[in-house]
Structure 1
Amino acid sequence: MCGLAGVWCWDTPIDRPAIARALGLLDHRGPDGNGLWISEDGKVALGHTRLSIIDLVTGEQPLSHPNGKLQLVVNGEFYDYERIRNDLTARGARFRTRSDSEIALWLYNDSGTRCFADLNGEFAFILWDAGAGRLIAARDRFGIKPLFYAVQSGRILLASEIKALLAMGVPAQWDVEGFLDAAHVLQDGTLFSGIRQVPPGCYLSATRHGITIQRYWDAPFASALSPIEDEHGALDQIRAQMSRATRWRMRADVPVAAYLSGGIDSMSVLALAAATTNRAPDAFTIAYEDAAYDESHRAESFATQLGARFHRVPVNGAALADHFATSLWHSETACFNPHGTAKFILSKAVRDAGYKVVLTGEGADEIFAGYAPSRVDALGGSAAMQAMIATRDRATYAVTPQHTATDQLPLIAQRFGTVPTWLRHQMAHLLGVADLLRDDLRAAWSTDRPLAAFLKYLEPWTVPALDTVDLGIALMLKTTLPNYVLVTLGDRMEMAHSIEGRLPFLDHQVVELAWRLPSHLKIRDGVEKFALRQAMRNLLPADAVDRQKHPFIAPPTATDAKHPFGAMIRDVLHGPALAALPFFEPRKVRKLIDRLTSLPPEDRLRLEPLLVEIASLCIIHDLFKMSSSSDPSAQLSIQMPSTEALA
């Protein structure tokens, strides 16, 4: 919906031109308006760039409470806000706008940080409480909307994107230690030294005495939820909750479109949206050249069945090569496949068609067990079963690591009593990365390093005894969902073109329901997302319901020197940025590239994610003019949540 920037300088006035530069770099997130509030003493500033979706006339921000003590900027949407607004009005609230954002101001005024219990949606916000001398920065339960922060030289800075923090004076430095810990994937870190994320389901509280991170929601790790054993009742509840979540996300003062693939996630959302409005939203679908990865014909057939106007968006290798660097500028993180670039191109097509809001199917795999690793866990985790599952679908095989590192994860086995295949895959990829590290870094690296950092990150959260399937899902929700999926395939690619994505599957009431499903309703006889398939069977074509999960990835071409994308990757890896990176030994990487032509196609396919990731880091290095200097010193202590705070 919008872009946010905030700063609190404890001892000196803020740098006003720096705030202006930051907001300028966030213009793509909010091209419809720009607002800035600065405190009387000149030490606190909240900035906002607006994408107008609800209340097109009076919804400008920052928002101020009549008492003059509360200032607020919001990114995203709060759903069911009319009901909350009416309740607050009956209790004396005097709203100045008709926007959904203002309810957060009045809820906080009434109940402080207990307000989060009443907020449902995709959101991030920054609130200045002058009466308490406190700054609050919050992020939605799943990290759909981004929010970064840095503490530096007697000030705290916050923004929707890292580039805005750089514009406010944070140095563009690689976090070498964080990279070795995989903090940008498995924790709340970033690739940038001194810059962290407010974790999903948490709020940051800053005073002159320090900064703490408090968690306000964590249902996926809750052990007290009563499981649903009634299968028919569970299916009815899934349909009802998904219908409600989709209906709420159709609420807008501008038209709403939908992304559509050939899978049941986006098809379900489109079908439910059509039932809500009696008219299916326009459907936008990526069309790849490679038939093994193209789902546009299946999508078009379903759109026609629903009466939705269908938009095919061709994405070829040349387009992926041309837009790869720009998509990385917006994502600010490494990727293993140009699927994010494809989403970048798709979002541009939506905007060019005149839309600002789009429904998406992200999140379904993470809550209903849709990925191949979950199937492997459900079927016992044997290597033979994993190979069988992976080779049933080329797209799945392309993102399945060659090694599962089963015997190299004792820390995880000791901590949880089991090791999810998803985490084995993560470590397998990290092993491939580690083999190409500079010699001094490789000598100091072992699998225990990122695992120990990962477990330390999880310490404040109480993880109950879970079976392997549910443990894998729970850990994905905390790591790769907010840190990769919702970045490279979500908000950052959509907001690059001023498009707001809305995710019915990540309505927290839907997630809480899905978490109560026993594993045998999530995966049955090797069929992933069993409960979702059965719940949506009457709305979708039978061949879609019964079809195996097809991962959303772009055709792997990075190892093909004759392909436009592969040629671009080789040019990058033979360029000067590789040697400038503080991570890799160039001779190791180039030796690997030289070996590609002698490898079987299956081995080349498995190397795709590794080469794309290294190339993406090279491009980020050039885009942001990165250095590898030491971290800036912080003026305040930053603490992870205490166990007492999370109770």
Structure 2
Amino acid sequence: MCGIAGIYHRDRQRPVDSQLLANMAAIQYHRGPDNFGVQVMDERGVGFSHARLSIIDLDEERACQPFVSDDRKRLLAHNGEFYDFKRLRADLTSRGATFRTKSDSELVLHLFPRFGLDRTLEELRGEFAFAMYDDEEDALYLVRDRFGIKPLYWTNTGDSIVFGSELKVLFADPGVNRRFSEEGLLHQLIQVLVPGSTAFEGVHQVKPGHFLKIRRRDGGFQVEERRYWDLEFPNAADHQNDRDEADSVEAVRAGLVEAVNLRLEADVPVGCYLSGGIDSCAILGLSAAARQDPVKAFTIGFDDTAYDETPIARQMADATGADQEVLTLKAEDLYGHFERTLWHTERTIYNTLGVAKLLMSRRVRDIGYKVVLTGEGSDELFAGYPSFRRDLFLHGLPDLPPDERRQWESMLGESNALFKGAMLSEDEVDDPALTAAIGFTPSCLQPWLACTPTARGLMLPELRERLAGYHPGTAIADALDAGMVEDRHPLDRAQYVWAKTMLEGQILTWGGDRVDMANSMEARPAFLDHHLAETAVNIPPLHRIRERREKHVLREAMKGLLPKVLYEREKFAFMAPPAHTDPGKWNSMMALAEQHLSHEAIGRAGILDAAAVDTMLAEASATETSRARKVQLDAIINHALGVQILHREFIQGDIPAKAAAMAEELGWKVAA
């Protein structure tokens, strides 16, 4: 994993500033501290830079990016991993390709001229984001992996296309504007984002499973967006509901074994993240079976027993002979690193799980590891979240016998009570646009849409007025491909919406890449192997959730390696204890509020209403406020802190000067 950056000028004859590219690499030094490189193509108005984290091919001189093709026609900067690369290298070599490195990244330069981009993307397996300039077409390609595991941002300044792995990389260019959009601000306050958007005006993400082809046309830029892959569930009528469950179990087992084995490939040691869930336990169990040496397992613990999964994680570590490292975090640890976490996430977070993950990635690197396998993606593929059970019951099981219906209602009322107000809405929310598009308002979005009235009320009156006709649910519905939900089973529709919103915008961002790479640590989510995903979407819904038990088919596939208590255990969403559950943590949150939500701080930023913030804080601390409302307000306070911190760091802060200073300090200087 690495960090990439680049500039593509409207004027082909305009030279790209090599030192600016080096500055853009320097400000993402945390993504790639092992080396950096800059390449500018003269008289083409394009240049890339790269900050390298060496994992495959440790020769820093040979494998340093950006890569230039032998014929000088293509320029490449790549972030991520291409698995199965040895087979592809052998095939390409038999076709006459000559590789200059042992890096998986070099594959693109040999695949593209032989097969074109569409076929190239079919061959690439893994998590990646890359930029390639092709001189024959005078085109810049920006490509992101199928699920959005690796980030890629871009903006059009009018004179240039500027892109990078992080927002701060774009902002290192003085020509890039830095200001919130009203819509982006509102979405930061309610957690859920519109796919492809950011908090900042004119700054976009390349969508998962998409690429951009950008060319200079008529004094400007022609930007063509194309989708090359999607999580495509079959039509409800085509689901093989009579499929033998054993076939589903075997398909999942075979797919996951292959995905894990591919992700153990590295030229450095590979560990595993281990919580008390079946996902990470399955990954550890398979990794231990495939390795000759004990696997290093890293576990986050909390000092609140209601949220701590350490005891079950210890059972799994003992069963596999893993060398387990447990990092137990206290309340003051989480809010004490909140501001640093926001610098890396570049978006708000509703729960300090993101802080916990950042602190764990630091421990991983301190111990000497750069790579871990993780369990992210399992819940998305096998319907693990409580919201999925709720949507299946309400919209996918209309003909239940009365006794079974009562059992479902009782289970839904009792289970995951800790997460009401965050992962589940306290009250039903029916968004007209989402219901029209999906057939119902997915339960995964309801808790965040329920925050909208409170979030709007926190914004300055003039901002609220400009957003009077804006509806977050409508914007999200409009961004979804109607063809991917039409005529699908209700559970498939719910899973698709989660994958397009919460997975990419939360799980893989502030719960994944951004807090892992903050400490130069690569996470590999084996469940998000696209071959495994294509198997999972064809598994009948009632093999995913059977008799009210989520992830049934995965449990059965991994039954032989899971501890009995875990095999039988209900899904427990992994998150940090909310602030209101612990006086010390609440005091730590309020200390940040005194700094960032004071009338003075709010006045400087000019985005929030100080009186409304005071009212919210008073409600959150009142004893008569319901528990679910406290959970909701806990999230909104985190978001309010977040937008204030983001404003201070990315709008008020001088990012270009900071990037230049970092390049100077690192010695990342480029001769004029």
How high is the TM-score relative to the length of structure 1? 0.92
Q: What does residue 637 of structure 1 align with?
A: none
Which amino acid letter does the alignment assign opposite residue 399 of structure 1? A
* Structure 2 residues without counterparts, runs of 5 or longer: 396-404, 654-672
Against the structure 1 CA distance between its residues 390 and 149, is the aligned structure 2 distance closer, same or farther, given a 3 Å change threshold?
A: farther
Q: What does residue 612 of structure 1 align with?
A: 638
The question of whether the paired residues in 1 share the 8 Å contact of 2:37 and 2:49 is answered with yes
Q: What does residue 302 of structure 1 align with?
A: 316
Whole-angstrom distance in 2 between the partners of 1:539 and 1:446: 54
Say whether residues 1:516 and 2:538 are aligned partners.
Answer: yes
Whole-angstrom distance in 2 between the partners of 1:187 and 1:260: 29
The question of whether the paired residues in 2 share the 8 Å contact of 1:404 and 1:427 is answered with no
Select the residue among 78, 81, 103 that pairs with 1:74: 78
Which amino acid letter does the alignment assign opposite residue 157 of structure 1? V
The question of whether the paired residues in 2 share the 8 Å contact of 1:292 and 1:394 is answered with no
Whole-angstrom distance in 2 between the partners of 1:439 and 1:540: 54
Q: What does residue 95 of structure 1 align with?
A: 99
Select the residue among 588, 596, 600 that pairs with 1:565: 588
Which amino acid letter does the alignment assign opposite residue 304 of structure 1? D
Kindly, what percent of the aligned residue pairs are identical? 35
Against the structure 1 CA distance between its residues 437 and 425, is the aligned structure 2 distance closer, same or farther, given a 3 Å change threshold?
A: same
Please report how far the alpha carbon of residue 597 of structure 1 lies from its aligned counterpart in structure 2 after TM superposition: 2.4
Say whether residues 1:348 and 2:362 are aligned partners.
Answer: yes
Please state whether the residue corresponding to 1:456 is helix, strand or coil.
helix
Equivalent residues in 2 for 1:483-498 (5 A)? Answer: 483-498=505-520
Select the residue among 33, 36, 44 that pairs with 2:35: 33
420-429 or 431-440: bigger deviation: 431-440
Please state whether the residue corresponding to 1:552 is helix, strand or coil.
coil
Against the structure 1 CA distance between its residues 35 and 465, is the aligned structure 2 distance closer, same or farther, given a 3 Å change threshold?
A: same
Q: What does residue 592 of structure 1 align with?
A: 616
The question of whether the paired residues in 2 share the 8 Å contact of 1:273 and 1:280 is answered with no
Q: What does residue 413 of structure 1 align with?
A: 435
Deviations 1:40-89 (A, max 9, x none): 12621011111110111132211122121011111110000111111111
The question of whether the paired residues in 2 share the 8 Å contact of 1:558 and 1:567 is answered with no
The question of whether the paired residues in 2 share the 8 Å contact of 1:257 and 1:281 is answered with yes
Q: What does residue 634 of structure 1 align with?
A: none
Select the residue among 193, 201, 216 that pairs with 1:193: 201
Which amino acid letter does the alignment assign opposite residue 32 of structure 1? D
The question of whether the paired residues in 2 share the 8 Å contact of 1:9 and 1:44 is answered with yes
546-555 or 121-130: bigger deviation: 546-555
The question of whether the paired residues in 2 share the 8 Å contact of 1:178 and 1:184 is answered with no
78-87 or 598-607: bigger deviation: 598-607
Q: What does residue 185 of structure 2 align with?
A: 179
Select the residue among 113, 133, 145 that pairs with 1:128: 133
* Structure 1 residues without counterparts, runs of 5 or longer: 628-647
Q: What does residue 152 of structure 1 align with?
A: 157
Which amino acid letter does the alignment assign opposite residue 300 of structure 2? I
The question of whether the paired residues in 1 share the 8 Å contact of 2:76 and 2:132 is answered with yes
Please report how far the alpha carbon of residue 99 of structure 1 lies from its aligned counterpart in structure 2 after TM superposition: 1.0
Q: What does residue 529 of structure 2 align with?
A: 507
Equivalent residues in 2 for 1:396-435 (5 A)? Answer: 396-397=419-420, 399-406=422-429, 408-435=430-457
Which amino acid letter does the alignment assign opposite residue 168 of structure 1? D
Say whether residues 1:216 and 2:239 are aligned partners.
Answer: no
The question of whether the paired residues in 2 share the 8 Å contact of 1:181 and 1:449 is answered with no
Please report how far the alpha carbon of residue 144 of structure 1 lies from its aligned counterpart in structure 2 after TM superposition: 0.2
Please report how far the alpha carbon of residue 387 of structure 1 lies from its aligned counterpart in structure 2 after TM superposition: 8.4
Against the structure 1 CA distance between its residues 324 and 459, is the aligned structure 2 distance closer, same or farther, given a 3 Å change threshold?
A: same
Against the structure 1 CA distance between its residues 111 and 411, is the aligned structure 2 distance closer, same or farther, given a 3 Å change threshold?
A: same
The question of whether the paired residues in 2 share the 8 Å contact of 1:185 and 1:484 is answered with no
Against the structure 1 CA distance between its residues 384 and 592, is the aligned structure 2 distance closer, same or farther, given a 3 Å change threshold?
A: farther
Whole-angstrom distance in 2 between the partners of 1:519 and 1:601: 35
Say whether residues 1:334 and 2:356 are aligned partners.
Answer: no
Please report how far the alpha carbon of residue 535 of structure 1 lies from its aligned counterpart in structure 2 after TM superposition: 1.1
Against the structure 1 CA distance between its residues 514 and 401, is the aligned structure 2 distance closer, same or farther, given a 3 Å change threshold?
A: closer
Please report how far the alpha carbon of residue 558 of structure 1 lies from its aligned counterpart in structure 2 after TM superposition: 5.0
Whole-angstrom distance in 1 between the partners of 2:258 and 2:309: 28
Say whether residues 1:207 and 2:231 are aligned partners.
Answer: no
Say whether residues 1:320 and 2:334 are aligned partners.
Answer: yes
Please state whether the residue corresponding to 1:283 is helix, strand or coil.
strand
Against the structure 1 CA distance between its residues 527 and 458, is the aligned structure 2 distance closer, same or farther, given a 3 Å change threshold?
A: same
Q: What does residue 641 of structure 1 align with?
A: none
Q: What does residue 140 of structure 1 align with?
A: 145
Equivalent residues in 2 for 1:262-273 (5 A)? Answer: 262-273=276-287
Q: What does residue 659 of structure 2 align with?
A: none
Q: What does residue 645 of structure 1 align with?
A: none
Please state whether the residue corresponding to 1:480 is helix, strand or coil.
helix
493-502 or 545-554: bigger deviation: 545-554
Q: What does residue 562 of structure 2 align with?
A: 540
Please report how far the alpha carbon of residue 422 of structure 1 lies from its aligned counterpart in structure 2 after TM superposition: 1.7
The question of whether the paired residues in 1 share the 8 Å contact of 2:580 and 2:630 is answered with no
Please report how far the alpha carbon of residue 398 of structure 1 lies from its aligned counterpart in structure 2 after TM superposition: 5.6
The question of whether the paired residues in 2 share the 8 Å contact of 1:268 and 1:536 is answered with yes
Q: What does residue 416 of structure 2 align with?
A: 393
How high is the TM-score relative to the length of structure 2? 0.89
Which amino acid letter does the alignment assign opposite residue 70 of structure 1? R
Please state whether the residue corresponding to 1:185 is helix, strand or coil.
coil
The question of whether the paired residues in 1 share the 8 Å contact of 2:425 and 2:446 is answered with no
Deviations 1:94-119 (A, max 9, x none): 11111111111111111221110000
Select the residue among 102, 105, 109 that pairs with 2:109: 105
Deviations 1:488-524 (A, max 9, x none): 1111111111101101100001111111112111112
Against the structure 1 CA distance between its residues 275 and 468, is the aligned structure 2 distance closer, same or farther, given a 3 Å change threshold?
A: same
The question of whether the paired residues in 2 share the 8 Å contact of 1:174 and 1:626 is answered with no
Deviations 1:233-286 (A, max 9, x none): 110110111000000000000000111001101000000111111444200111
Say whether residues 1:64 and 2:68 are aligned partners.
Answer: yes
Which amino acid letter does the alignment assign opposite residue 292 of structure 1? A
Q: What does residue 665 of structure 2 align with?
A: none
Please report how far the alpha carbon of residue 445 of structure 1 lies from its aligned counterpart in structure 2 after TM superposition: 4.7
Please state whether the residue corresponding to 1:292 is helix, strand or coil.
coil
Please report how far the alpha carbon of residue 599 of structure 1 lies from its aligned counterpart in structure 2 after TM superposition: 2.6
The question of whether the paired residues in 2 share the 8 Å contact of 1:391 and 1:397 is answered with no
The question of whether the paired residues in 1 share the 8 Å contact of 2:192 and 2:502 is answered with no
Please report how far the alpha carbon of residue 405 of structure 1 lies from its aligned counterpart in structure 2 after TM superposition: 4.4
Please report how far the alpha carbon of residue 300 of structure 1 lies from its aligned counterpart in structure 2 after TM superposition: 1.6
Equivalent residues in 2 for 1:271-310 (5 A)? Answer: 271-310=285-324
Please report how far the alpha carbon of residue 462 of structure 1 lies from its aligned counterpart in structure 2 after TM superposition: 4.3
Please report how far the alpha carbon of residue 430 of structure 1 lies from its aligned counterpart in structure 2 after TM superposition: 2.7
Whole-angstrom distance in 1 between the partners of 2:504 and 2:606: 26
Whole-angstrom distance in 2 between the partners of 1:405 and 1:448: 21
Which amino acid letter does the alignment assign opposite residue 51 of structure 1? L
Whole-angstrom distance in 2 between the partners of 1:513 and 1:75: 26
Select the residue among 247, 253, 260 that pairs with 2:267: 253
Please state whether the residue corresponding to 2:151 is helix, strand or coil.
coil
153-162 or 568-577: bigger deviation: 568-577
382-391 or 321-330: bigger deviation: 382-391
Q: What does residue 498 of structure 2 align with?
A: 476
Whole-angstrom distance in 1 between the partners of 2:383 and 2:157: 41
Please report how far the alpha carbon of residue 464 of structure 1 lies from its aligned counterpart in structure 2 after TM superposition: 2.9
Against the structure 1 CA distance between its residues 605 and 309, is the aligned structure 2 distance closer, same or farther, given a 3 Å change threshold?
A: same
